[in-house]
Chain A
Amino acid sequence: MSQNGQPKLTVANATKYYDTGTGRVHALDDFSIEVQEGELACLLGPSGCGKSTLLWAMAGLHGLSSGEIRLDGKPVTKPNPQIAMVFQEANLLPWRNLIKNIELPFEIRGQRPDQARIDALLAEVGLTGFESKMPRELSGGMQQRASIVRALSVDPSLLLMDEPFGALDAFTRDEMNLLIQQIWMETRKTIVFITHNIAEAVFLADRVFVMSARPGRLARIFEIDLPRPRNLEIFMAPHFIELVGEIKGSIDHKPQVQAA
């Protein structure tokens, strides 16, 4: 929590409709949460529940039909230098090598790349020596690690992650979750992490925000009181399994049919 007790990120009554070719889609309905400074928050929900819609709005990439997003008390209406995003699949530019991909945000902002910071991050995620490789030469996990370095290289205070490990195999996914925890414990950045994997959410989060199916609403909030650092054995711990079971039971799988 910041000095004045104000949350890092506030989502107030977020509602969003999409106009598509086949009609109007009600993606988000009166969604409100507060994420505290330095918190690792997971947004969990079934596919198509509006998680990504919400995250893109947090990033200032698109607007809301009504409601407001605030970062440090100030409304977010366009992309903000304090916010960096990690996308589904790594979303590296295939025509640039790894280091050129990481330097993209600096290029866009007309700044000189922070070489020391980039080198330290590359070392931390184990990509030192791969700078000149093209994305297609890297494994899925390596690509996603590069995209995490890209997001962190500009030292944002809020990191948004949109189902970043959904396309990875289970082993790589565990590895990536450990890496996220490690980076988070070192930097204490505020992270909002989207996933539809309950175990992943419980493993990572301080709090898990469960969303209901379309239109996306906040269903429940779970505090995860597991001690840190959490290691992979925790997946077997009774309390972990209990939490996963409780969250599973709270997810409403039936999408509400509602005329919009």
Chain B
Amino acid sequence: MASVDRELRDKIPTFEKAGAADVGNWSSAASTLSILKGSRDVTLILVTAIIVFGGAELLLRLFEVPAYIAPTPSQVVWALITDFPYIGPHIGYTLIELLVGFSIGASIGFVLAAVITQFPLVEKIVAPYILLLVTTPMLALVPLLILKFGFGFTPRIIAVTLASGPMVMINAATGFRRTDLAKIALARSFGASTLQIFLKIRIPMAMPMVIVGLMIGSIFGLLTAVGAEMVGGSFGLGNRLTYYSSLIQMPQFFACILVLAVIGISIYVFFYWVGKKWASWES
């Protein structure tokens, strides 16, 4: 064995140590690079933001545009600060609708995707209805839902569920449909049960697409929640948009839009991070 071993090392110079060093160097170099690149990117992003918002501020003041047409960024931020006691609770209402509706919709969507992709015939039968749900704007149903459930949380949560669930489902189903026979055979060769194959092979393999579905589904949920609030009821950020625009209080109106933008971006960043953590193997 020893002689074979030595021979192996003689013949193949990149057998052990060299390989180790390569991988080590590669990853450390890559991480240093990404930090440098990261700080440069951040600087560029900040400079651009200052130019955009500073420029808007400057131009709006220069041409003396009245606040009811377009408030300056500083007026918007100021309105957000001074009127936060009035706006704050509505942020909470919108987030509750989004969170509850999305949780229900995403759970149903995920489970449905996992189950129906195992039965091709069922999938064929169900697919048109899912497509119908995905392509129909759920906002159109809100007046109907309000008639049935009143002006409370219920119609909005139902709308968010209907908007986000099918989005999650259609993407998760794409993930679950990817079958790698060799990986399933591998698990089976070690005696894995159907459930184990599902938990250890199919779900991790579907994960990247599931996360994409969650991201799109939650953004759609947010849009639908705000839209539903604009249709009826007396609370939520969407309702505040209607309220402030009817009073021509544009700084407050834009303050609400700013809040919505921050929520949307936070959702995106959150799922981006989740994807990096759980699905970074695929890229």
Q: Beyond A130-B20, A185-B1, A186-B1, is A83–B12 a contact (Cβ under 8 Å)? A: no
The reply on B64 being an interface residue by CB < 8 A is: no
Which secondary structure dominates chain B's binding surface? helix
B34: shortest Cβ distance to chain A, in Å? Answer: 15
Q: Is the CB of B11 within 8 A of A136?
A: no
Which of B7, B190, B191 is within 8 Å of A232, CB to CB? B7
Interface-facing stretch out of B165-173, B200-208, B240-248: B200-208
Please name all residues of chain A whose beta carbon is closer than 8 Å to the beta carbon of B189 when the two chains form the complex. 59-61, 79, 83-85
Please name all residues of chain B whose beta carbon is closer than 8 Å to the beta carbon of A95 when the two chains form the complex. 204-205, 207, 279, 281-282
Please name all residues of chain B whose beta carbon is closer than 8 Å to the beta carbon of A94 when the two chains form the complex. 281-282
Q: How far is the CA of A49 from the CA of B87 in the complex (A)?
A: 72
Q: Is the CB of A61 within 8 A of B281?
A: no
Q: How far is the CA of A61 from the CA of B182 in the complex (A)?
A: 11
Which of A104, A139, A181 is within 8 Å of B19, CB to CB? A139
Please name all residues of chain B whose beta carbon is closer than 8 Å to the beta carbon of A134 when the two chains form the complex. 281
Q: Is the CB of B4 within 8 A of A231?
A: yes
Please name all residues of chain A whose beta carbon is closer than 8 Å to the beta carbon of B74 when the two chains form the complex. none
Please name all residues of chain A whose beta carbon is closer than 8 Å to the beta carbon of B115 when the two chains form the complex. none
Q: Is the CB of B20 within 8 A of A229?
A: no
Q: Beyond A130-B20, A175-B12, A182-B1, is A93–B201 a contact (Cβ under 8 Å)? A: yes
Q: How far is the CA of A117 from the CA of B189 in the complex (A)?
A: 20
Q: Is the CB of B190 within 8 A of A154?
A: yes
A170: shortest Cβ distance to chain B, in Å? Answer: 11
Q: Beyond A59-B189, A85-B189, A179-B8, is A107–B200 a contact (Cβ under 8 Å)? A: yes
Which of B15, B186, B207 is within 8 Å of A126, CB to CB? B15
The reply on B183 being an interface residue by CB < 8 A is: yes
Q: How far is the CA of A89 from the CA of B182 in the complex (A)?
A: 10
Over the window 258-283 of chain B, the binary record of Cβ atoms lying under 8 Å from chain A Cβ atoms (1 yes, 0 no) is: 00000000000000000000010110
A182: shortest Cβ distance to chain B, in Å? Answer: 5
Q: How far is the CA of A87 from the CA of B191 in the complex (A)?
A: 16
Over the window 118-133 of chain A, the binary record of Cβ atoms lying under 8 Å from chain B Cβ atoms (1 yes, 0 no) is: 0000000010011001
The reply on B192 being an interface residue by CB < 8 A is: yes
The reply on B196 being an interface residue by CB < 8 A is: yes
Over the window 219-257 of chain A, the binary record of Cβ atoms lying under 8 Å from chain B Cβ atoms (1 yes, 0 no) is: 000000000010110000000000000000000000000
Q: What 17 additional pairs, Cβ within 8 angstroms, besides A61-B189, A95-B282, A182-B4?
A: A60-B189, A79-B189, A84-B189, A85-B186, A95-B204, A95-B205, A95-B207, A95-B279, A109-B190, A130-B20, A130-B23, A133-B23, A172-B12, A174-B11, A175-B15, A178-B8, A229-B4
